[in-house]
Amino acid sequence: MFSAMLGEAWHSMGANRLRTFLTMLGMVIGVGAVVLMMAIGQGAEQAVKKSIQSMGSNLFIVLAGPPNMGGARSATGNAPSLNVKDATAMEDLEGVSNVAPINMGSAQVIYAGNNWNTSIIGTTPSYLDVRSWNLSDGYVFSDSDIRSATRVALIGKTVVQNLFGDDDPIGKTIRIKDSPFIILGVLDNKGQSLDGRDQDDTIIIPLTTSQRRVFGAQFSGSVRQIIVQADSDKVMPMVEDSLNSLLRQRHRIREGMDNDFSVRNLTALANSAAETTKTMSLLLGAIASVSLLVGGIGIMNIMLVSVTERTREIGIRMAIGARERDILMQFLLEAIVISIVGCLIGIGIGVGGALLVSHLTAASIVISSQSILTAFIVAASVGVFFGFYPAQKAAQLNPIEALRFQ
Amino acid sequence: MPGHVIEVKNLYKDYQTAAGKFPVLKEVNLEIDAGDFVAIMGPSGSGKSTFMNILGCLDQPSSGEYMLNDQPVARLQGDRLAKVRNHTIGFVFQGFNLLARSSLLDNVALPLVYAGIDKTERHARARLLLEKVGLANHVNSHPNQISGGQQQRVAIARALINRPSLILADEPTGNLDSKTSEEIMTLFGELNREGITIVLVTHESDIAEHASRQVRFLDGRIVEDTRTSPIAVKGAPHV
Ligand SMILES: Nc1ncnc2c1ncn2[C@@H]1O[C@H](COP(=O)(O)OP(=O)(O)O)[C@@H](O)[C@H]1O
Ligand SMILES: [Mg+2]
C-alpha cells in the first residue's frame, strides 16, 4: 500500500517534470545554502578555536602607551613607558606564573642569497612557556644568552621554508639587519593567529640582542609589550588589578592621572572573538534557512495548484474507495518526496560548493555530518509542514463536487 | 437469503441554493433484489444522478433510509463510506473517469490499492478482468490510446475488481455511439447473468430494454416502475 503510493508520488512527479524540477529548485537552493553556510561558519569557528588554543591560556598583554593610543604604535620619540624591570617586578605578583617582555618588528633576513621579510620577536625564554610553544628541533636560548645578548635565533616553519627549503637550518648563520645570528632551534607549527597572521612566519631572538642589534632602542631596557600569564582563570581579575596598581606605582602615576600603559585580558578578547564568529555562523545559517523557508512555500504553492488541477482525479479516487487519509498521504508523500530529493541534491551542491570554496580560498571549511543531518531533517519537516495544508485540502474535497470539476 | 440489495425508504434530498432550499428527490421508495437489472429513466434534471450518487454512497440523503445489503448506510461517514464504495459497489460513469496518467492495468487495479491488496494479486486480478472485457492486449496502454467504448470497458473492469454485489452506472452509454452502446449493454447483460445486480441510468428506451425492470423518475419522484422480464439469476451474488 505504502510502496504503491510512493510509486504513484514518483510517477506524478515524473508526469510534470519541469514543474517538479522548479519546485525542487527552491529546496535545492535552500538546503545547498544551509549546508554551505554552515560549512563556512563552522570552519570559521574552528579556525578561531584553533588560534585561541595556539595563543596560550589565561593571558594578559600589557602594552606601552596610554590605552587610547594603542601601545604598539607608540612613537619612538616618546619615552617608552614599559621596561624590563617592570616585567621583573610583575614576576613577584601573586597569581602570576610567567612573564615575557617583548619587542617586535619586522626585518629583512638573508641566508645564502635568499631574502625574506619576517617578524622578529625579541623576548625571554619564558615567552615560549607563556605561548605553550615547543620546538620541533634544536634548543631554546637561555637566560645567559639574554644577559650577554648573544646573536642566536629560533625560527618559525614558514621562515625555514623560505630561506632553507629542505636544508636543515640548525647551526646555520642567517643575517638579520646585517648582524649574523646562529640558529639554535626550529619552532613548532602554530598556524594562524586570531587576526589572521601566519604565526610561523617569525623569528625569536633574545630580548637584549633585539634591543641592541635589531630595533636599536634608544632607552635601554624599554619594551613594547609584556605578556603575563596567570595561574588560573579564577585569579585573572585579581592579577589584572595588581598589574594596574603595580605599574601605576612604578611609573609614579598620581591619583586621577591616566595610565601610560594598558592591560588587556587576551583570553577575554579571544572569547569575544569566538563569540563573534559563533554569532556570525548562526546568522549565516539563519539567512540560509530563510531560503529553505521560501523553498517550502514554493512547495506549498505548487502543491495547491496540483490539488486544484487534480480535483477530478481526487474525486475518482474517492469514488472507488480512497479514504481521506489515503488522499492526504498521497499528496503529503508527493511533497515529502520532492523535499527529500531536493534536499539530497541540495546537500550535494552545498558540499560541493564548500569544497570549492576551501579549494579556491584559504577559508577553512567544516562539513559535519551533523549539519547535513540537520539540513535533511529540516527539509523533510518543511516538506511535511508545507505539504500538509494542500494535502488536507485535497482529502477534504467532497467526492461529488470533485467529480463534477472540469 | 438476504432480502434486498437496495432498500430505499422515504428518501429526500434538497440542495441549498441562493434562492433557498431546492428539493431534488421527494419521497423516493425503491427496493431492488439481488440479481436484478434495473434501468432508471426520466428527463434531464429529474434527479436520476442525484439518486445514483446516494445509492453509490458518494452523497448523503437529506432524510430517509437507505439499506444496502440490509446495512443502514444513509448516515455513514468518512472511512466507513469509503469502505462501502470500495468493497460493495462498483460505479461506472458517463465520462469513464479513468486516470489519464495510469496504464489500463493500474486503472483497473486502483481500487485494490485502497483495499490494501499486494501488487502481485492486484495485477493478476486486473489482468483477468481486462481479459474478461476484451482488452487483454491493451494492458499497458493508456486511456487516451483507446476508443471511448474501450475506455468504458476498462471502467467496468475497474468497477468489478473488488467483486461488488452491485454495479451502478450513470448513463454509461451517454458518450458512446449506438453500436458501441449495444456492445456495452451486452457486457452488462452478461455480468447480470453472472449474478451481479445492476442499476443503470439511461435516456434511451432501446438501452433500457436490455434491463429487466424500468424505473421512471419525474421531477424527483418515481412515477413508473415496470418489470419486463424476471430476474435472471437468483441467489448467490457474483464471486
Ligand atoms: N450540487 C447541486 N446544487 C444545486 N442543485 C443541484 C446540484 N446538483 C444537482 N442539482 C439540481 O438537481 C436537479 C437534479 O439533477 P440531477 O440529479 O443531475 O438530474 P438528472 O441526472 O436526472 O439529469 C437539477 O435541477 C440540478 O440542477
Ligand atoms: Mg444525470
Please report the pLDDT score of residue B126 as a whole number: 96
| Domain range enclosing B93 | 35-59+77-227
Q: B97 by DSSP, 3-state: which?
A: coil
d(CA A186, CA A160): 8
d(CA A64, CA B133): 100
CB B230 within 8 A of CB B55: no
Please report the pLDDT score of residue A49 as a whole number: 82
Does residue B125 fall inside a structural domain?
yes
d(CA B58, CA A272): 67
Residues of chain A with pLDDT under 50: 70-77
In the structure grid, which three cell numbers stand for residue A369, read together?
555530518
Does residue B112 fall inside a structural domain?
yes
**Beta strand pairing status for B89-92 and B166-170?**
parallel
Does residue B132 fall inside a structural domain?
yes
Q: A61 by DSSP, 3-state: which?
A: strand
With residues binned 3-state (H G I as helix, E B as strand, rest as coil), the percentages for chain B, rounded to 5, are: 35, 30, 35
Judge if pTM exceeds 0.80: no
Contacts of A167 (CB under 8 A, 6+ apart): none
Q: B164 by DSSP, 3-state: which?
A: coil
Buried b (16+ CB within 10 A) or exposed e, A120-145: bbbbbbbbbbbbebeeeebebbeeeb
Q: What separation in angstroms does the CA of B85 have from each of A396, B65, B81, B163? A: 17, 18, 6, 12
- Going by pLDDT thresholds of 50, 70 and 90, the confidence category of residue B218 is very high
Does residue B11 fall inside a structural domain?
no
Number of domains making up chain B = 1
Q: Is the CB of B16 under 6 A from ligand 1?
A: no
DSSP one-letter string for A348-375: HHHHHHHHHHHHHSS------HHHHHHH
For B31, the enclosing helix (H) or strand (E) is: strand B20-33
Domain extents in chain A? 2-52+274-404, 66-259
Residues of B in contact with A403 (CB under 8 A): 58, 93, 97
Residue B202: give its domain's CATH number: 3.40.50.300
Phi, psi of B95 (to 5 degrees): -90, 20
The closest-lying atom of ligand 1 relative to the alpha carbon of residue B42 is: 22
**Beta strand pairing status for B197-201 and B37-41?**
parallel
Does residue B179 fall inside a structural domain?
yes
Q: For all residues of chain A together, what is the average pLDDT?
A: 86
Distance (angstroms) between ligand 1 centre and the Cα of B15 equals: 8
User: Picking from A172-181, B29-38, B48-57, which range would have the lowest pLDDT averaged per residue?
Assistant: A172-181
Does residue B23 fall inside a structural domain?
no
Please report the pLDDT score of residue B68 as a whole number: 94
Residue nearest to atom 26 of ligand 1 (CA): B45
**B101, A323: Cβ pair inside 8 Å?**
no
Q: Is the CB of B46 under 6 A from ligand 1?
A: yes
Asked whether the predicted pLDDT for residue B222 surpasses 90, the reply is yes
- Going by pLDDT thresholds of 50, 70 and 90, the confidence category of residue B6 is very high
Distance (angstroms) between ligand 2 centre and the Cα of B134 equals: 28
Measure in Å the smallest separation between the Cα of A15 and chain B Cα atoms: 8
Average pLDDT over residues B32-53: 95
Please report the pLDDT score of residue B111 as a whole number: 95
Structure ipTM: 0.93
CA triple B88-B92-B96, angle to 5 deg: 145
Please report the pLDDT score of residue A80 as a whole number: 66
- From A223, A301, A282, select the one nearest A24 (Cα to Cα): A301
Please report the pLDDT score of residue B235 as a whole number: 55
CA triple A293-A295-A296, angle to 5 deg: 65
In the structure grid, which three cell numbers stand for residue A331, read together?
499528496
What is the amino acid identity at position A70?
G
Asked whether the predicted pLDDT for residue B239 surpasses 60, the reply is no
Please report the pLDDT score of residue A217 as a whole number: 63
Does residue B237 fall inside a structural domain?
no
CA nearest to B120 within chain A? A4
Residues of B in contact with A316 (CB under 8 A): 97-99
Chain A residues within 8 Å of chain B (Cβ atoms): 1, 3-5, 11-12, 15, 312-313, 315-326, 399-400, 403
Contacts of A79 (CB under 8 A, 6+ apart): A219
Report pLDDT digits (tens) over A155-197.
Answer: 999 999 999 888 888 999 999 988 899 999 999 988 888 777 8
CB B91 within 8 A of CB A320: yes
Distance (angstroms) between ligand 1 centre and the Cα of B83 equals: 26
Please report the pLDDT score of residue A201 as a whole number: 93
d(CA A392, CA A304): 10
- From A387, A344, A381, A369, select the one nearest A31 (Cα to Cα): A344
d(CA B197, CA B185): 14
